Amino acid sequence: MNDLDLHQMRLKVLEKDEADCNRLNILHRFMHMSALSPSTRTSHAQRSGELFTADEIRDWMSRDDNSMDCKCSFTLVLVDEFGNPRSSELVQRVVSAREEFLARRNQSS
C-alpha cells in the first residue's frame, strides 16, 4: 500500500466514524496515535495521545507533508460535554508512551 492509498483509507475511516457519531449525536474526538518508531518525526510523536476533531486532523494531515511516510493512526474517543475522554485509561497509556519515547529520544540527542 502506498502513501496515497493509506492516506485515503485513513480519511475514509475518519469520515465514517465522524458521520456515525454525528448521526447518533455522540460527543467524540479522535486520538492521534503515533507509531513511536525510530523513524517517527518528533512533530508526530508530540501529538500522540492528544484529542482532535476530524477537521483538525484533516487540516494537520494536509500540511507540511504530514501524510507522507506516516505510520500514525487516529482512534475514536467518546468525550463528555467538556471534551474530556469518558474513559481516560487508554489516553493516559498513549500519553505515557509518548513521554517515554520523547525522553529516550532527547537522551540520545
C-alpha cell at 63: 500540511
Q: What is the pLDDT of residues 54-102, one digit of tens each?
A: 999 999 999 999 999 999 999 999 999 999 999 899 999 999 999 999 9
Return the pLDDT at 3: 81
Question: From the CB of residue 62, how many other CB atoms can be counted at a distance below 10 Å?
Answer: 12
Domain ranges of the chain: 3-108
CA atoms within 13 A on the CB side of 1: 12
Between 108 and 25, residue with greater pLDDT: 25
Return the pLDDT at 2: 85
Give the global pTM.
Answer: 0.92
- Which residue shows C-alpha cell 500514525? 72
Between 105 and 4, residue with greater pLDDT: 105
Return the pLDDT at 7: 87
**Cα R_g (the chain), whole angstroms:** 14
Q: What is the pLDDT of residues 2-40, one digit of tens each?
A: 888 888 999 999 999 999 999 999 999 999 999 999 999
- Do residues 30 and 76 touch, judged by C-beta distance below 8 A? yes
